[in-house]
Structure 1
């Protein structure tokens, strides 16, 4: 049966009272002056021992004594109950928690323990105690236990309450669910690395995390550290991978090779492979392999302080590695399939476009949403025997290897026909017969090909075109008031190839300052949007572009219509320059001195061309960042090209890696670190990335100030 608190005439220990915390001091003071329990020194020895244990514990604990369940508690419990402290000390628990006493797990738990001697444990409790506190925890989760407290005679004299917060475990499990959902949407190893590193850093509240996979003869790893400043733009960028040899002794690679997890509680686990102070400061490290049938990899979690790895942490890390490993395996498979399809696609497109003094040419191709498939869009530009320029853009229906192969046949046949007889109507008539023959040969009634072909005569300032079922080309011209205008050319569309096409030619003026834009229907077609709206958006975007430079217009055109497209996108632009531009280029090896060489070469070249000083400074800074980026991410030599016209300076940096051949998302984002991205956006008037057959080209354009457009060219 419950009883009163037994008393013995034992004096208080001065040392114990002197070391008491603020909460403990309030509790002991209240017991002397205002409670029926009396001074602690008169309590039963067992009860007093329990009280001393509570006051010294870092875990939230409280003792409710006597029939009134008078509260005595420690600092941690005082924090837990918020602004109920210090008034709660020495008062009945039913009064202190009057507003929540009737809720399950509160008053009833106290009463069962005190009246019936029943212990209870609530594993996932959301405490209502501090709901009035301005810094309330909200939905923090705790494990809470109530036990009867007995005196020396075995009588129940109170209730011991112990509360342990388990929010971290709950949050980690929730994080595991969230990361599973995030990994489900990843396509590439870059995507998997970004999601995994962000999750590991947050869920384990760690100082350093790494993710790594096998890479043929070696390994590549990527790292994140606590406090690393990454904004939204950085999160979209490709991770900065580091390469390691196959026999590396790094914990991640050792775990990946052996398939056995490693745990270091205290030491210098990264001493032999440390690249900076972040690695050197790690004392505790867990290395977990990624166990998959088609990929070897691993991840690590490190801390700057010694750490005992609990069974729960090891299990959570193993579960995380299982999810990340499955995502990495899917990503590796996707990259392999996609890379093959894209290599086939791009190998059938021209690697280099003609470099002419009065005609500037640029093109862009983006794969559709289904990045695993090869498409049938194609473009080409080539010199004719007469010195004129032949330009073509077409679309073979389908998104498979067969479509890409048909595209290659049509493109090769078109060039052969044009070199023999460049009249656009004659070329398309010949192609119509070829496509019809291919359809009959394969027994396919689904061979659907549209194409527009034109001949640019810069000397006579004219353009002759013919179309076989393709969207009408767009021309950007200088308006009457000086403002550019964009107009669609009146070219009879005709029937697609293979259906008895009888093309008609149209000849229009193509004067200096004009820019021609050929495009595929993927540029303007969107679901639940009319084709007219898409065409209007494209014309408005082209007219409003900062300049008529073909590379800039290709980037503008591919982003002109809002919404995602499931079709391939191909654009070809030709500018009839007012004045011939000046061009120069330099090849730089993959060496640490390359950015410095580029800066010196470019400064000398632009100064010699009398480019305004402000433009030179901005261009050199941006080019240095892009060169560094190309060397870091591609690991290959880079080619820097500059092209100067009276209106603008165009700079491109091309690498021969594979960065641009993985996903469409890659071509929409500059692949530099955050600083480089910010510089390009702030210092240039337009920029973009163009994937090529063997890598990527990143470019930017800076307009020459109107009052300083006397740059000599020739």
Structure 2
């Protein structure tokens, strides 16, 4: 497609749906697009409408070819370029408008390839014959051309953007607009949207400071910023953004723009003088802030520079288009977070928030939602004391990933506990539970109520474990040889049929000596696509055997991560360790205030010193705990709870928060920034660590093995 060099007129910036002052823009807005692949103008996709606004506002020759027939839409600069072909070219297929050029190498074939494959194309100083003026004679014109795919709000390619003349920088900006649309299409949470928005804005506008804000939903705002020069590596990008809560009337231009719905531009001055948080804000001289223009979520995006800046109409249109795309993504994220939070709260509220605290039996559990994470699942676990003083343990799976599955899970779990408290024999409990599930299936009019469960009774005095299973994966026990070499073996237990099918569960009683650990898990732990179940079971047994200790919390994390690849199913693990000696434990409530990490360090040092823990372990534990406490206060913004548990083998420390900003993952330990430094230290100084979701918030823990002797 043609391009040109030389001066072109500068049109004024159009407003979506409003008449424009320029000739080409007015012709575009008058055109009957209902007869083309674009459809009626009022039904245009927000991302496409944003690109059209940007084209019509730009002084640079630009055109959009849309749909499979590549119909043309362009601005004044492009109209001057094609001469007498305007205005008849508007809304016509590009191949019909330029028959003399379309078949030439590097013209039509390039446009069609970009539309088909999503790549980009830039070629400078290429001569093409183009008919101009009344004579109709072809002349050689030199063009610089750039082509980029245009994507809709869902990330699908719907057209090709052509930029003509010397417009390398503009081409990059428009290409980045397409890229940000694709990136935003894959976001799920507001944290994801913020990361994409900040990364895009600071690169596209060559900014020194960018900020993104959304309303809190009940008064006030949440704002996050990014400053040029911050150390942001791949691991930092995955950390939850450091949101700052600010009041409704905060004097930042970003908040004013978000509140009023009108853009604010300061070309030179001190736009953040009254709202500056630090020297980074104070150094900003020019700033542009635009509202998100979303229907439900209020918010805004601001871009600041250290030097005075004249914001052109095209740059303002680009910023407004970016904010509209970000606003659409923010609304999707807000809906997802609401659904996700409801589903997860329902799921976890049906699981025990606290497991029994026993002197000789240490218990831990872990639950992780499947890949979707936006639905309640049917995996469940429980551990409770029986009237005889023994411990009942259960892990089960109700098929399904919806609220109904979670509700049935709650019914099954409650019924199992009631049956066990009446008669704890595992086969009797599962037989009674089978009748309940059959009744629930008949009541629901379905034969698809698929429930598997394993139930066991742990007798620490007799050092034995009695188990029964109804269609569930076999339990695993970690043991040690006489010379203290750990190994893991599956209990030889008849699997039986799932509940509701007339189950006749078999029973197995096996030794459970001090030092042994029982591990129960759901099939999501071992099942992977294109991998046999046998390989999954072997991987879990091998990982549990190779773990540094038999601590149940560590083994839950080890079992969960043992099999490579992702699972679309929920994952639940319950582990019970028969301790060699009773452990000692203590805890501290940590207020959300700046002095909290220091108070934790003093408390932990004194407590571990009183327990005569080796100095080398105390030093490592204090450093790791201080960093975890700081991380919890920063990212959750709530009070935290530090718990320590000391056994003959290891020291276990956990820090729990009640926030909901996301969890820390192992992938984040490589970061070198101050925000992730603690996680790297934990990886280096501890023997095992992990993160566990709770009913509200998350718990990060680490384990340090004690020197022998």
State the TM bucket, normalised to the shorter chain.
0.7 to 0.9
SS of the residue 2:226 aligns to? strand
What does residue 208 of structure 1 align with? 209
**1:201-258 Cα distance to aligned partner (Å, 9 max, x none):** 1111111111111112211111111110122221111111100012212111111111
Q: Which of 124, 127, 134 does residue 145 from structure 2 map onto?
A: 124
What does residue 354 of structure 1 align with? 356
What does residue 166 of structure 1 align with? 167
Q: Quote how far apart the aligned CAs of 1:658 are.
A: 1.9
**1:304-335 Cα distance to aligned partner (Å, 9 max, x none):** 11111111211111111111111111111000
What does residue 455 of structure 2 align with? 453
What does residue 566 of structure 2 align with? 564
Tell me if the contact between 2:125 and 2:144 (Cα under 8 Å) persists in the aligned partners.
Answer: no
Alignment of structure 1 residues 615-626 onto 2, 5 Å: 615-626=617-628
What does residue 27 of structure 1 align with? none
Q: Quote how far apart the aligned CAs of 1:142 are.
A: 10
**1:176-196 Cα distance to aligned partner (Å, 9 max, x none):** 111111111111111111111
Distance 1:125-1:480 versus aligned 2 partners, 3 A rule: same
Distance 1:426-1:313 versus aligned 2 partners, 3 A rule: same
**1:650-691 Cα distance to aligned partner (Å, 9 max, x none):** 11011112235xxx8879868992112212212111111111
What does residue 250 of structure 1 align with? 252
Distance 1:228-1:105 versus aligned 2 partners, 3 A rule: closer
**Matched length:** 563
Tell me if the contact between 1:475 and 1:514 (Cα under 8 Å) persists in the aligned partners.
Answer: yes
* Alignment partners' CA distance in 2, 1:443 and 1:188: 37
Distance 1:583-1:106 versus aligned 2 partners, 3 A rule: closer
* Alignment partners' CA distance in 2, 1:531 and 1:281: 59
Tell me if the contact between 2:127 and 2:141 (Cα under 8 Å) persists in the aligned partners.
Answer: no
Which is greater in Rg? Answer: 1
**1:375-409 Cα distance to aligned partner (Å, 9 max, x none):** 00000001111111110000001111111000000
Distance 1:536-1:104 versus aligned 2 partners, 3 A rule: closer
Q: Quote how far apart the aligned CAs of 1:424 are.
A: 0.5
**1:72-102 Cα distance to aligned partner (Å, 9 max, x none):** xxxxxxxxxxxxxxxxxxxxxxxxxxxxxxx
What does residue 693 of structure 1 align with? 695
Tell me if the contact between 1:659 and 1:666 (Cα under 8 Å) persists in the aligned partners.
Answer: no
Q: Quote how far apart the aligned CAs of 1:481 are.
A: 4.5
* Alignment partners' CA distance in 2, 1:256 and 1:108: 47
**1:19-63 Cα distance to aligned partner (Å, 9 max, x none):** xxxxxxxxxxxxxxxxxxxxxxxxxxxxxxxxxxxxxxxxxxxxx
Distance 1:432-1:678 versus aligned 2 partners, 3 A rule: same
**1:319-370 Cα distance to aligned partner (Å, 9 max, x none):** 1111111111111100001110111000000000011111111100001112
What does residue 379 of structure 1 align with? 381
What does residue 492 of structure 2 align with? 490
Distance 1:364-1:549 versus aligned 2 partners, 3 A rule: same
Tell me if the contact between 1:667 and 1:690 (Cα under 8 Å) persists in the aligned partners.
Answer: no
* Alignment partners' CA distance in 2, 1:422 and 1:182: 54
Tell me if the contact between 1:452 and 1:466 (Cα under 8 Å) persists in the aligned partners.
Answer: yes
* Alignment partners' CA distance in 1, 2:350 and 2:269: 55
Tell me if the contact between 1:282 and 1:304 (Cα under 8 Å) persists in the aligned partners.
Answer: yes
What does residue 267 of structure 1 align with? 269
Distance 1:511-1:378 versus aligned 2 partners, 3 A rule: same
Q: Which of 283, 286, 291 does residue 284 from structure 1 map onto?
A: 286
Residue ranges of structure 2 left out of the alignment (5+ in a row): 1-122, 148-161
Whether 1:178 aligns to 2:179 is yes
User: Which deviates further from its counterpart, 166-175 or 407-416?
Assistant: 166-175
Whether 1:301 aligns to 2:311 is no
Tell me if the contact between 2:454 and 2:467 (Cα under 8 Å) persists in the aligned partners.
Answer: yes
Alignment of structure 1 residues 652-667 onto 2, 5 Å: 652-660=654-662
**1:258-289 Cα distance to aligned partner (Å, 9 max, x none):** 11111111111111111111011011111111
Residue ranges of structure 1 left out of the alignment (5+ in a row): 1-102, 127-140, 145-164, 708-714
SS of the residue 2:292 aligns to? strand
SS of the residue 1:607 aligns to? helix
Tell me if the contact between 1:656 and 1:695 (Cα under 8 Å) persists in the aligned partners.
Answer: yes
SS of the residue 1:209 aligns to? strand
What does residue 468 of structure 1 align with? 470
Runs of 4+ with >4 A deviation: 103-109, 118-121, 141-144, 664-672
What does residue 408 of structure 2 align with? 406
* Alignment partners' CA distance in 1, 2:606 and 2:432: 51
* Alignment partners' CA distance in 2, 1:503 and 1:416: 18
What does residue 54 of structure 2 align with? none
Distance 1:105-1:424 versus aligned 2 partners, 3 A rule: closer
What does residue 196 of structure 2 align with? 195
Tell me if the contact between 1:667 and 1:691 (Cα under 8 Å) persists in the aligned partners.
Answer: no
Whether 1:591 aligns to 2:593 is yes
SS of the residue 2:642 aligns to? strand
SS of the residue 2:367 aligns to? strand
**1:400-449 Cα distance to aligned partner (Å, 9 max, x none):** 11110000000001111111111101110110111111111111111111
SS of the residue 1:598 aligns to? helix
What does residue 72 of structure 1 align with? none
**1:155-188 Cα distance to aligned partner (Å, 9 max, x none):** xxxxxxxxxx532211111111111111111111
Tell me if the contact between 1:659 and 1:696 (Cα under 8 Å) persists in the aligned partners.
Answer: no
**1:455-475 Cα distance to aligned partner (Å, 9 max, x none):** 011111110000001000011
Tell me if the contact between 2:125 and 2:142 (Cα under 8 Å) persists in the aligned partners.
Answer: no
* Alignment partners' CA distance in 2, 1:540 and 1:201: 47
SS of the residue 1:363 aligns to? strand
Whether 1:549 aligns to 2:570 is no
Q: Quote how far apart the aligned CAs of 1:511 are.
A: 0.8
What does residue 616 of structure 2 align with? 614
Q: Quote how far apart the aligned CAs of 1:484 are.
A: 1.1
TM-score (norm 2): 0.76
**1:626-673 Cα distance to aligned partner (Å, 9 max, x none):** 11121222222111000111211111011112235xxx8879868992
Distance 1:544-1:462 versus aligned 2 partners, 3 A rule: same
User: Which deviates further from its counterpart, 315-324 or 462-471?
Assistant: 315-324
Tell me if the contact between 1:464 and 1:505 (Cα under 8 Å) persists in the aligned partners.
Answer: yes
Alignment of structure 1 residues 48-197 onto 2, 5 Å: 105=125, 122-124=143-145, 166-197=167-198
Tell me if the contact between 1:472 and 1:493 (Cα under 8 Å) persists in the aligned partners.
Answer: yes
Tell me if the contact between 2:235 and 2:667 (Cα under 8 Å) persists in the aligned partners.
Answer: no
What does residue 679 of structure 1 align with? 681
* Alignment partners' CA distance in 2, 1:317 and 1:142: 18
* Alignment partners' CA distance in 2, 1:685 and 1:183: 38
What does residue 532 of structure 1 align with? 534
TM-score (norm 1): 0.76
Distance 1:104-1:430 versus aligned 2 partners, 3 A rule: closer
